[in-house]
Structure 1
Amino acid sequence: MLTKLGIKGRVLLLTILPASLMAATLGGYFTWMQLSELQSQLLQRGEMIAQDLAPLAANALGRKDKVLLSRIATQTLEQADVRAVSFLDTDRTVLAHAGPTMISPSPIGSASQLLSSTGTDATRYLLTVFGSQRHLTSPIIPAEADTLLGWVELEISHNGTLLRGYRSLFASLLLILTGLAFTATLAVRMSRTINGPMSQIKQAVSQLKDGNLETRLPPLGSRELDELASGINRMAATLQNAQEELQLSIDQATEDVRQNLETIEIQNIELDLARKEALEASRIKSEFLANMSHEIRTPLNGILGFTHLLQKSELTPRQFDYLGTIEKSADNLLSIINEILDFSKIEAGKLVLDNIPFNLRDLLQDTLTILAPAAHAKQLELVSLVYRDTPLALSGDPLRLRQILTNLVSNAIKFTREGTIVARAMLEDETEEHAQLRISVQDTGIGLSSQDVRALFQAFSQADNSLSRQPGGTGLGLVISKRLIEQMGGEIGVDSTPGEGSEFWISLKLPKAREDKEESLNIPLGGLRAAVLEHHDLARQALEHQLEDCGLQTIVFNNLENLLNGVTAAHETPAAIDLAVLGVTALEISPERLRQHIWDLENLNCKVMVLCPTTEHALFQLAVHDVYTQLQAKPACTRKLQKALSELIAPRAVRTDIGPPLSSRAPRVLCVDDNPANLLLVQTLLEDMGAEVVAVEGGYAAVNAVQQEAFDLVLMDVQMPGMDGRQATEAIRAWEAERNQSSLPIVALTAHAMANEKRSLLQSGMDDYLTKPISERQLAQVVLKWTGLALRNPAPERQNEALEVHVGPLVL
């Protein structure tokens, strides 16, 4: 409580409170003593009056003289504090009485003594009168000395005593209050001598706080307070001097800052102008590179197309090798151009991502399948592990995600001399609508130092420039991957140890898509038992998971002899083994020995699936000689593996009507392109497949041809001088609308169809698009799709080549 009081309140409290307690204690004590003394005196007076009345009334009591007794009682009543007087006969009958009725109770006790009884307002006395007490009025007769003559009863009032006590108490209180008032006056005067100077000190400190450093305190009247005031004055002087010096420094610094700001403002203006010029130059460069897709890819399309046509002709082995070298060089050049164009698209902000459903497992496994030949050429093991809790049906841009994975896996192949490359897909977090995924590519290559990791995602750089010529590449792959992942809302990173390998990882959040139901197979694989042989641990684990996902029960063996013994032991038992899946290489077993083991397994009614590296496919093809054995390349895709195993269990009859039936007439196709080489290529491909082709150069010629002749389909190049493909399409659509004609299918031939360009093409009135370089299979499919007229199927080997050409540009 004292902390809430000021100095004045504390002084008053510490002076008045002890004085009040002391005065109250002493006043109460002395008042009580005085009241006790008055009460004692009253009782003594009552006893004396009673004892004095006994001799006076003894003779009258003896004679029963009531008149005399009444006169004595009346005289006695005139004394102070006497309230009532009674004289009683020996039988206690009243002989004489003066005053009001007695209110105190009658005393009880020995009759020979003075008895008293004290009530609230009075005290009552009772005294016996004997014959011996007549000595005041007549001689004592010895025979009557002990004779009881009567009683004297007296009542003394307390009112007078109480009144005197109240007067004494009032006087005491008056003295106490007078003393307290005097004490309070002294305390107030004393507090002023302290509170006044403290108020001056407080006001001075407040002024100093507000910045009035010229404030000074006068002498305050006491040595201690004067020392405090002197200290505050010295502090104020010191602060005033410091502020003056600081103000001088601030003025000087302000002047310097003003001059620097003027200089910086001039520099900022110059830098802003230079920045704008640099941004404009970068934008022009990026737009120039982004628009170079058609001009660069168009001649490459001609080179690749005519190379494929030449490969179908009769060539010497040396000429065929020359064409293979040309094709490979053109593919590599196309891949490098794609990297530069993608980078320029990202820099120019023109890259738009698709959002379509895709299967994550198929995407990852297909990517490894495409890159398997390069890995197997270096005797590397490629493994894909998709954890079972990972959602497979997702939505996003599968083309760009495949591009990123291709870049990471191809880099791992480039910088790994021996060992294993593992691609993993796992679930980090999941909600009802989204899945947080982590996709990693781990290798056992040369590894990266911390300095290499910091420079890894910079444009036109590689981890080890000394090795850049050996693996090749532009150094843009990881930069493009990082930009793509960031545009998808994810992140990319690397964990690496020099000499032990690297692990590149992607963390990406994608929306879930509706699960695609697998195509029902004629013969279900559920319940069948499969023997598995794979010497590589991770590859064996991945193969087990794939077979179990297909519904098979797996039994793992560590070598081929044990597998053959296990199948033999289970033969003709309820637990017979139906399939044997063998992962082999030429270093582990020769084709001749494998062929003998396959015969042994087939004799036990066990069908065989052989998995081998792509580089040894032709070598092991000799060991697969009938429908009871299939040969697949490593690493196997789950979907293809399931289909192959189903066909192995129940071979389908060979059908001659797999392809669409040939129409009675050939489709008429209008080809439009300003480049004569590309126009001749498309015309030749279509004519070789049986189409009737009309080729024109330019948009104006295309519009005239449509208005004069009837066509089933138009293949329209997009970028052409004069009237480009979009303008020609709009003109054709307007001409059709004027004549209420049905829309003629128009398919765009574009060199590099980004997502935003695809939408622009479709919005201009085109029905579909084909991305250069164009394959025979693509042409046949698009003609069948939009005309319903089938072309002759291209040769199988050309289909495979077309597929390789289609996926080749994705490789970074």
Structure 2
Amino acid sequence: MFNVWKEKIHGEDVPLREKIFYLMLFMVLLSSILSFVAGVFRQDVAGLLLPMLIPVPIVIFSFWYTMRYRKVELPAVLVDIAIHFILIPLAFFTRGGADGGTAVWFILAILYVFLMFHGRLFYVMLTVTLLMIIGLYSMSYVHPEWVIGLADRAEVYTDSVVAVILAGIICGCLVKFQNRIYAEEKEITEQQKEEIEQLSRSRSAFFTNMSHEIRTPINTIIGLNEMTLRENISDEIAENSINIQNASKMLLVLINDILDMSKIESGKMQIVPVQYDTGNLFSDLVNLIWIRAYEKKLEFKIDISEDIPSTLFGDEVRIKQVLTNILTNAVKYTNEGSVTLSVQSEQMASNIVRLRISVSDTGIGIRKEDMENLFHSFKRVDEARNRGIEGTGLGLTISKQLVEMMGGKITVDSIYTKGTVFTVILDQKIVDGNPIGSIDFMLKKKSLSRSNYKQSFEAPDAKVLIVDDNEMNLLVACKLLRSTKVQVDTAASGKECLEKTRHKYYNVIFMDHMMPEMDGIETLKQLRVQEDGLCKDTPVIALTAHAMSGAEQLYIQNGFQGYLSKPISGTLLEAVLLKYLPKELVEYTADAEEVLEEQKTIRLISKKRKRSVTITTDCVCDLPEEWLHMYDIKNMYYYVYTDEGRFCDTKEISSDGLLQYIEQNGRMAHSKPASVSEYENFFANVLEESESVIHISMTSLVSEGYAQAVSAAKGFDNVTVIDSKHLSSAMGIMVLYAGKLAKEGKSKEEIIAQTEKLKERVSTSFIVPTPDNLYRNGKIKKHVKVMCEVLNLHPVIEIRQGRMGCACIETGNVKTAYKKYIRRKMRGRRKIDHRILFITYAGCSVKTLELIEKEVERYMKFEKVIFQPASATISSNCGLGAFGLLYLKKK
């Protein structure tokens, strides 16, 4: 029973704060018992009753509540109120006030607050506790008659000593308890840290062994299969062998992904920047990918800027790995159409260039709900549709982390069923700033079936020793070198290797690393100091399945001349051997390399340089057409619905035409934004010419356009949607401001920040001369409409914090109401920015516009006054004769 209670109160699963609370309850209970005992000795009725009536029941309830519900806040507050605000004040006034020992308990009251509360509740309880203490002292000072003094000096000393001892013991127990808990937590933390480190070491060892053990059989499969393809075999057998070769290489890619992921997670993946040739990098990528596109009958388009510096400094291997992964995925998930590789550059500093590399395809695309899982480990999106496509789901995760390790960024824009664009942005140091110019892509010939093998050289007098404890690896290596006619010996262990080198000289030695008894490194060390050995200076190449991070550096540091990871190909093995064989032993036989131009598969395209940022908006922004063209602002349409059908606002129907239709027929018309899919296509088309898009939408509290745009933007990393909190030309003012910043070359982040700040400065209001359209569109009730007509009332509609409401009502005839509205808006002219004013109207006559302009000039001169017809969407809600004064307020 004791152990059960101990586990409930002091178990590992019990939070520290809860443990401290239990200790505090125990101390309160112990103090109550001691106070009761002291009351018995002193024959003090208050000392007997107070501990039993207040603390004990509360402590028992708190124990029960906390253990049942595992919540501390309520009982902690209850204990604080009962003891600190009832028991201690009573004890203070009945036990001598400031002269008694009760004052010592105030320290415990403050300590309790610090231990048990946090956040806002802590500050509240601390403030109340301090005020309680100050209040008690103040009352006892002002009204000393309220304090019941102690009987004599001896009782004062006794009470004070008891209070000091009890308070000291309680504080000491708390400190001791916290130290004990800290020591236990530290011990557990150290133990867990050791377990994690042990797990990390075990995992590293596991992956190292896995790399070795899996690569060994793959090496056998690929190597022997290559030997089969070299023979004069039937087409059916050749087809089977090619499929085996492709499957083996796919398996190798999967294994490499898993190993790379383990290196990244363990922190052992390193970025190694080197100087590299930019043209060669992209040539290698094209040569690697085009054949895969050709096999699927896809068009491979290339758009590489000629201004990119020719030599850069960065991790070429990792850049190539990332782009190969993305390009391979593009081909993999595209069944028809094309894949496009586009590379642009931007000079960021005198020695820094920003590469913007995008890979677009016309493939299956990515659903919006799958976008958040796109870069998650082992997570493949749209599993049902992609079931037949190989992969672990690690490639993009690895790519994203590699790009971030290089200080870059990777984004994705996609429309489901229509295609995807991946964009990688990397900053690289410039070594040679001369532009690469036009790259002549020489596509290396790769037979789509099998090709006749021909060795690259022959060396019948050369002697080679291959050391490996696996018989199949020895068999594969021997067969791969058979056509070169070199003399090959094998050794199954380090000991056998040393024995053979005592009696025979070898021109080159290939040696496995992980061998029993004596591994490759130890064998090499003994080989170099072998007294009677003949191969002390012979080049030794590490031929191993150990392909973890830093493997090549490991072997070079330990004296190996080279490094080959399994599985190996005959071509690579011959190339390394050729590098270290004496030239006089070699006879060259390979033909000159052939090249293949496939105009049907690869096409160089030249597109104009993309803009950095494009501003888009809805057609209800009510801006002059020439201004939209000036800042290259793209418009998304709204639809206007009438009894005659659906019309595209500003393109298929005008404001005047719609108002005339409504007035003549007395019919309704309403507007709706485009669908999500239409917004998706709109954004995708803009992104073909721009690197990113900022879309400024009408206030979300009036129209669904913002929600539709936001939903569409979920499929794009490079589309940002801003709720303007306004409509009509007021929204247009924000659009113009953002367009001006974009034209000046401001960054996307800066444009968004500046546009967001502008919201509070824009003023949006309209006066509506007749309530008919407001009633037809459900904005007002029928009795309100009737009242406005009878009393000749004209509502003024205003946008505040994105909400549309009636700001005021002007009275009198229409002309008088117009003047009152203008006077009211111009009243605060000192706060109005005088640079521009939009007078946006719906169906106003020329005479009415002249009246409005003249009335505005009476109060304020603007540098520009723009008379702008409202869009059909705005007009359908405001009605004939409505107009608004839309402007900026001063900062």
Greater Rg by CA = 1
TM-score (norm 2): 0.43
